[in-house]
Amino acid sequence: MYPREGFRPEYLDFQRGIRVGHLEPHQRITRILKEALETQFGEEFVTDRYGRGVYWQWICFLSRANRAAKPLSHHTNFGCSKFFISVDRQERSFKSGMQIERGYMEAPTDRQSWVLKNDWDWHLLMERLEEDPRFHKMLARLMTREGFHLKVGSWTNDSTFGTRSSPSAEELLNMLRKIPDNHWGGFQLYYPMFPEEIKGSTGPDLVDAMIAVFVEVTPLMNACMGVQLNLTSD
């Protein structure tokens, strides 16, 4: 077991990223969150990350069962809806939430495995925005009432919406469809926290907040996954 007391606020560094190196296993947020998610949902999660060395900028957790059920993409994480945490060094914010990637439509020669496949969760996201008003209603509630933010588009030219600027489903679809074919793009729904809030919290409080965010976005993630997550505990 990895007690939440092992994590410390200073491991979220707004200049370098999320500290994971040179720590004991019980102090690493990767171990703590993976175990917490597996307890919460009663299934195995896969961890992935962007970064190297002691500090990582982005870490994600995705359902192994959802990935394994994909006939074409069961060997890759790109096509899966995922929980994520990240430190945005430019905005000086810590983010936790959900992410769905589109990948490339036209990839460089050395990145052909990153081209959007027919079994990626991206297609389910687009279907929900097109056909299910309940999906957009849940999204709008999290943004306007719960303080979540939304980032959509290519990661090099994205649009970010805060609590006062929730876009319509049609506007979202238009932005997602306009992602250039040769750009990597996606959809991120997240709750931001800022340096003073982090400093004023304990490590366990921060872990609890991350898990609470993941639970909040689970209904939206489930709507975009072939194999859904089921809560096993409060």
- pLDDT (tens place) for every residue of the chain, 234 residues total: 677 889 999 999 999 999 999 999 999 999 999 999 999 999 999 999 998 899 999 999 999 999 999 999 999 999 999 999 999 999 999 999 999 999 999 999 988 889 999 999 999 999 999 999 999 999 999 999 999 999 999 988 888 898 777 899 999 999 999 999 999 999 999 999 999 999 999 999 999 999 999 999 999 999 999 999 998 755
- Please give the pLDDT value at position 157: 83
- Please give the pLDDT value at position 136: 95
Pairing of strands 12-13, 55-63: unpaired
Query: Mapping DSSP to helix (H, G, I), strand (E, B) and coil, where does residue 52 land?
Result: strand
Rounded Cα distance, 234 and 206, in Å: 17
The CATH topology of domain 4-222 is BirA Bifunctional Protein; domain 2 (3.30.930)
Map out the domains of the chain as residue ranges.
4-222
- Please give the pLDDT value at position 232: 79
203, 9 in Cβ contact below 8 A?
A: yes
Question: At residue 96, what is the residue type?
Answer: S
Q: Indicate the pTM of the whole model.
A: 0.95
- Determine the distance from the C-alpha atom of residue 136 to the mean position of all C-alpha atoms in its chain, rounded to a whole number: 18
Q: CA torsion sign, 115 to 121 to 127 to 128?
A: negative
Query: Mapping DSSP to helix (H, G, I), strand (E, B) and coil, where does residue 193 land?
Result: strand
Q: CB 229: neighbour CB atoms within 10 A?
A: 23
46, 67 in Cβ contact below 8 A?
A: yes
